[in-house]
Every structure is written in C-alpha cells, then in structure tokens.
C-alpha cells in the first residue's frame, strides 16, 4: 500500500500569513492552478481511493485531482486542520500578543504551539489532533488491506499532515516540525508488512517541467 499525502492548494489566508485552522477558506486562483497542474502530473497514477478533509480547500483540491480518476472523494472530518481557537483568522505575528492576553505568553514560538497538551482558548491541543490522525489511519488500513488497494491519496492540511507523518513513523510529536508541506506539496509513504518507507517528501509537482509523474 502506498499513501500519497498532499497538502491543499493555496488560499488567501496562506498568502497573508493567517491562522486558518478549521475556518472554511476556499482555494484562491493560484491554489486552483496548483491543484490542476498537480492533477496533470499525476495522470499516470491510478488511485484506488481518495480521502480528503471536509474543509473546502482540501475537498476542492481532491475533487480537481479526482476528475482525472475513476474514483470519488471521501470526505473525513478526522483530517481537518487543528482548531486554533482564538488564533483563527489572525495573522501569525499577532499570535504571541493574543495568547499573552489569555495568560499564555510562553505557549507559542513563531506559529508553533509548544507542548503536546497546550490548547489555545477555544481550540484543540496537538495531542487531540494526533488522536484524530491515529483514528483515521487505523480506519484506512482496516478498510483497504483486505481489498489490496495499492495507491491511496490523502488530501489534508499542513499541520495535520505533519502529525500524520509522526504517526506513520512512530515519532514523537516534536518531530513534526521536520515535515513541512508546501501548498500542493506531496509525500509518499510505502507500507510493507514489516516496515514503512518514505519514498519522497514535499515534492512540488506543479513546479516541475510538465512531464507526467512516473515514479
């Protein structure tokens, strides 16, 4: 089984450096272009199943790719981005000031929450997001091992995909910072009976020379 992990295309919030979290922000024109070019590059890959977060930016990215496939998109709330509570809709550079007003001055570094159990007011902790990732992956493995589906596309969000990578490779949550995903950046993990292999990480197909992907 090969899991293809794809981040959604660009949104205006991505471009503006804004926490999106579970706000339902659509793709912008650049994001739609990124998704269409990615779909073209993946024309030679046949996905047995396509899963996507039920937030529109991920679902739209998945549907653009699914137009070239003979399979529908299965929306899954467990693939949603982390809920950032009071930070949602704010620029990254306002995060520290906003959390300080809630007595959480030391809870964030850049845009990264410190501590697996740290929860911004009204939001989720990283540990809760990881629990969603574990639940999703268990369901995928259970649903597809018996049917021998070989290629599965998972379209989600940067933060959730980083956490999915730590689950797949049994790494501590702190290791998630090593797995950055660009908009429409793709990673592939091959799963064997006794191990998992990272075939490539954050491959940006929409920036390549236009040739179909053949690996």
Going by the DSSP 8-state scheme, the letter that residue 89 receives in this structure is: T
Active-site residue, 81 included: yes
Using 50, 70 and 90 to split pLDDT, how confident is the model at 209? Answer: low
Give the contacts of 178 (CB within 8 A, at least 6 positions apart): none
Active-site residue, 97 included: no
Q: What is the pLDDT of residue 214?
A: 64
* Domain annotation covers residue 46: yes
First-last CA distance in the chain = 15
Q: What is the pLDDT of residue 114?
A: 81
Q: What is the pLDDT of residue 187?
A: 97
Using 50, 70 and 90 to split pLDDT, how confident is the model at 93? Answer: very high
Range of the domain at 43: 2-86+124-207
* Domain annotation covers residue 92: no
Q: What is the pLDDT of residue 155?
A: 98
CA distances for 189 relative to 33, 95, 113, 195, 200, angstroms: 25, 33, 26, 10, 8
Encode 2-33: b = buried (16+ Cβ within 10 Å), e = exposed. Answer: bbbbbbbbbbebbeeebbbbbbebbbbebbbb
Q: What is the pLDDT of residue 146?
A: 66
Going by the DSSP 8-state scheme, the letter that residue 83 receives in this structure is: P
pLDDT digits (tens, 9 = 90+) for 140-168: 988 887 667 789 999 999 999 999 999 99
From the list 60, 81, 83, 157, the catalytic residue is: 81
Mean of the per-residue pLDDT values of the chain: 93
User: How many domains is the chain built from?
Assistant: 1
Q: What is the CATH number of the domain that holds 28?
A: 3.40.50.1240
């Amino acid at each position: 089984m090969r899991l293809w992990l794809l981040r959604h295309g660009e949104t205006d919030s991505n471009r503006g450096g804004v926490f999106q979290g579970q706000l339902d922000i659509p793709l912008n024109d650049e994001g739609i272009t990124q998704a269409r070019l990615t779909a073209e590059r993946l024309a030679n890959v046949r996905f047995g199943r396509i899963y996507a977060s039920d937030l529109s930016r991920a679902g739209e990215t998945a549907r653009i790719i699914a137009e070239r496939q003979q399979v529908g998109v299965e929306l899954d709330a467990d693939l949603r981005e982390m809920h950032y509570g009071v930070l949602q809709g704010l620029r990254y550079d306002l995060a520290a000031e906003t959390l300080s007003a809630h007595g959480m001055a030391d809870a964030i570094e850049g845009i990264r929450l410190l501590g697996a159990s740290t929860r911004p007011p009204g939001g989720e902790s990283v540990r809760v997001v990881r629990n969603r990732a574990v639940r999703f992956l268990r369901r995928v493995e259970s649903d597809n091992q018996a049917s021998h589906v070989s290629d599965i596309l998972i379209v989600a969000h940067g933060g959730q995909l980083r956490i999915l990578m730590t689950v797949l490779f049994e790494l501590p949550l702190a290791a998630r910072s090593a797995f950055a995903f660009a908009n429409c950046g793709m990673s592939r993990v091959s799963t064997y009976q006794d191990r998992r292999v990272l075939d490539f990480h954050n491959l940006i197909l929409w920036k390549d020379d236009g040739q179909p992907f053949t690996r």
